[in-house]
A and B are shown apart, each in its own frame.
Chain A
Amino acid sequence: MSNLKIGSILTIGASALGAFYLGSYTERRSNNESGRGDKLTRLPGLPAFATVSAASLIPASESNLSATPSRIGQIMKYGFPGLDHVRSQSDYVLSYDRRNRVPHWVFEHLTAESVAKNDAVDRAKSDFKPDESIHPYFRAQNTDYRRSGYDRGHMAAAGNHRLHQKHCDDTFLLSNMAPQVGQGFNRDAWNTLETHVRKLTKFYTNVYVCTGPLYLPHKEDDGKMYVKYEVIGSNTVAVPTHFYKVIVSEAADQKLHMEAYVMPNKVISNDTPLQVFQVPPETVERAAGLLFFDQLNRQQLASINGKKI
């Protein structure tokens, strides 16, 4: 009986010791092999992002269904506009504004493949869902938007993520929405801008786009400036006054082209050309309190809003 006990203790002890030494040996070996010293230290709560130099292209066929660090590194290649409540979805990255219950910004990386019509992906199968990963205090719900007079307006557009149904579904999370005027804006002029961004993939290898809301001041009758915006629903979701898109397109010759747009959140006549809404990128940065593509020296750009630098 006791012999049996001792035997089993010995067996367990031996295998534990063996496992420990084997483990430490393989660890040492792998350390020696990757002796380039490029092991990223993990910061608490932040995935280890690939740095700009390490950003590598992933073949488009490999559609990730969870936010892999390599995909995030790829999307965020040119820097984070801010670090407040960053969340990564399967094909876009978002910073959530808990006070206003809408995003601060969303970042997307588009290619011709990712925006191409795909029969395997059906928008009609996606539906608007509250984001369970947001604390309930700060979560927007469908009820907030219902009969508010505003659309659930995508920041990361559904049409930009057609590699996989999951990518499309992820854009329907309410954390990716902001209240937008429906007819004449979300479903029209804003949609035209989104289409324009998708068209850029026809001419450029990679298109990076950052989208978000603005709350711009305006002068009232007393001559003072005020920031005024509606809030809707029991969760008081902010209705932004304007929205921006800042876009960087990489041409095949490695040249970079930037465009920046600001559109008011109101009915815009269909015959208004998009150029009307082009603004210098720094005005968006000042208004948003964010820096876009700050890993890029603006001098490196070949053009801004179509003008040579």
Chain B
Amino acid sequence: MSKRKADNEMATAAQKVNPADAIQIVGDITINKSQPLEEYQKLINTRVAVDQIVDDDITKENFTKIAAAARDVIWQILFSDDSDSGSDADAAAESQKKASDLLEEYKGDACFYEPMPYNEWIVKLRDELLQRQQLDFWRDTIVKKQLGPCWSRDSDLFDSDDEPPLEFYAHAGCVAPFATSLKVRAAEKATSGDEDPGAALDRSNCNEAALTSDFEATISVDQPLIDYRDLMKRYVLTTCIVSDEIQQKNIDKIGQATRSTIWKLLFEGTPTQVEFDKAAELLQEYKGDAGFYGPWEFNKWIVKLRDEVLQREMLDFWGQKMVEMELGPCCARDSDYFDNMDEVPLEFYDKAGFKAPFDPSKNSKE
């Protein structure tokens, strides 16, 4: 969107609703003693914590006014000598609770919006409490709930370079609840997201070999799949950048070794079931990689392999492995070299009474 268009949009949006007008508090406000917490919360939610974009100065000013009203009403509840100080214990306890709840809520907001006025005022409140010997409120509310000055424990406007307000609490036989924890702080150990350089040396040797194509590709008949995977991991899945040409060379080298090992497994001596299994699983893995790195060599060779298998009448291997496991030429079913415009290799499987293990009608969307 062009800047001008954006500006226009902003302007029209601003004309539609001018949230600033809606929320701006004109003149002073007061909070009633009967339900101070609810009133306070409502004011904050409608005049300060609004999601629309309002000029920051307005929300700030609103908070300043609401905070002043909150401080006033707390002071009134605690220190006004009218109704309920001493006369009725229940009523006194209830009003103390009101003051305590509002103070806690207000402090939470002050920590976020404007800690300084709170930090100055709370000292005055403390002095008044101590002077009037209202020690219960001091101990059970201010000290216990840590309602002293905002600091790095509860506000992001402070950090560990700032003095913790230990002194504030050190009155009437109290200490700051966090005094001990300042000395001993337990926290979970951080674990950095670095990988452990375990086989780093081996890695760098492999990378070097991969860069020059200077390695032996040998795949034993005993554990062909493990050998194959190891070669791929070392010389193809490198951690360094290998030029495409060299990479292809490395893949060809490993591919060649793979094909000759499969050939050995199947056609040298009399293969056992174990060797059939090994050949099939290697062939499957090799086909998977071929489908990704380039299937053309595989697709040519697999036809030769099939012909040799059929000529030697290894029908078990043909039926149970090559046909059932779909080890024929790579196609759109298993490789992103192809798409649904390409023919699927039905006729490859159409030998010795077998059919392709997939249904082409599911593939073509016609």
A: residues with CB less than 8 A from B are: 123-124, 127-130, 135-136, 139, 141-143, 145-147, 151-153, 159, 182-184, 186-189, 191-192, 195, 216, 218, 234, 241-242, 262-264, 266-270, 272, 276-277, 279, 283
Contacts and interface: CB of A to CB of B under 8 A. Distances in A.
A139 B53 contact: yes
A267 B192 contact: no
Contacts of A270: 185, 187
B277 interface: no
Main secondary structure of the interface of A (DSSP, over half): mixed
Nearest to A151: B156
Interface string B154-170: 00111111000000000
Contacts of A130: 53, 56
A269 B159 contact: no
B186 A269 contact: yes
A283 B49 CA distance: 40
B112 interface: yes
Interface in B39-56: 49-51, 53, 56
A241 B10 CA distance: 33
Q: Which of A139, A191, A195, A218 has the most CB of B within 10 A?
A: A191
Contact of B161 (A146, A182, A191, A266): A191
A101 to B, nearest CB: 13
Contacts of B152: 183, 187-188
Contacts of B159: 186-188, 191
Given A142-B112, A143-B50, A187-B160, 17 more contacts: A123-B157, A130-B53, A130-B56, A135-B6, A139-B53, A142-B56, A159-B161, A183-B152, A187-B159, A188-B159, A192-B160, A263-B190, A268-B187, A272-B189, A272-B190, A277-B192, A279-B192
A183 B158 CA distance: 10
B190 A268 contact: yes
A192 B161 CA distance: 9
A192 B49 CA distance: 32
A124 B187 contact: no
Main secondary structure of the interface of B (DSSP, over half): loop
Contact of B158 (A141, A142, A187, A266): A187
Nearest to A271: B185
A281 B256 CA distance: 40
Nearest to A276: B192
Interface string B138-174: 0000000000000011001111110000000000000
B124 interface: no
B10 A136 contact: yes
Contacts of B53: 130, 136, 139, 141
A218 B193 contact: yes
A145 B157 CA distance: 13
B54 to A, nearest CB: 9
A241 B190 CA distance: 13
Interface residues of B, number: 32
A276 B161 contact: no
Interface string B59-102: 11000000000000000000000000000000000000000000
A146 B49 contact: yes
B192 A262 contact: yes
A267 B191 CA distance: 10
A217 to B, nearest CB: 9
Nearest to A277: B192
B28 to A, nearest CB: 22
Given A143-B49, A153-B156, A269 B188 contact: yes
B101 to A, nearest CB: 17
A269 B190 contact: yes
19 contacts: A127-B157, A135-B10, A142-B56, A142-B112, A143-B51, A147-B108, A152-B156, A182-B156, A187-B158, A188-B159, A189-B190, A241-B193, A262-B192, A262-B193, A264-B192, A269-B186, A269-B190, A270-B185, A279-B194
A188 B160 contact: yes
B123 interface: no
Contacts of B153: 183, 187
Nearest to B113: A142
Q: Which of B116, B156, B185 has the most CB of A within 10 A?
A: B156
Q: Which of B53, B116, B159 has the most CB of A within 10 A?
A: B159
B114 interface: yes
A189 B10 CA distance: 40
B123 to A, nearest CB: 15
B62 to A, nearest CB: 12
B193 to A, nearest CB: 5
B325 to A, nearest CB: 24
A235 to B, nearest CB: 8
A183 B192 CA distance: 18
A269 B189 contact: yes
A234 B51 contact: yes
In the A-B complex, the 9 residue pairs with the smallest Cβ-Cβ separation, listed nearest first, are A151-B156, A268-B190, A187-B152, A269-B187, A191-B159, A187-B159, A234-B51, A267-B187, A184-B187
Contacts of B193: 216, 218, 241-242, 262, 264
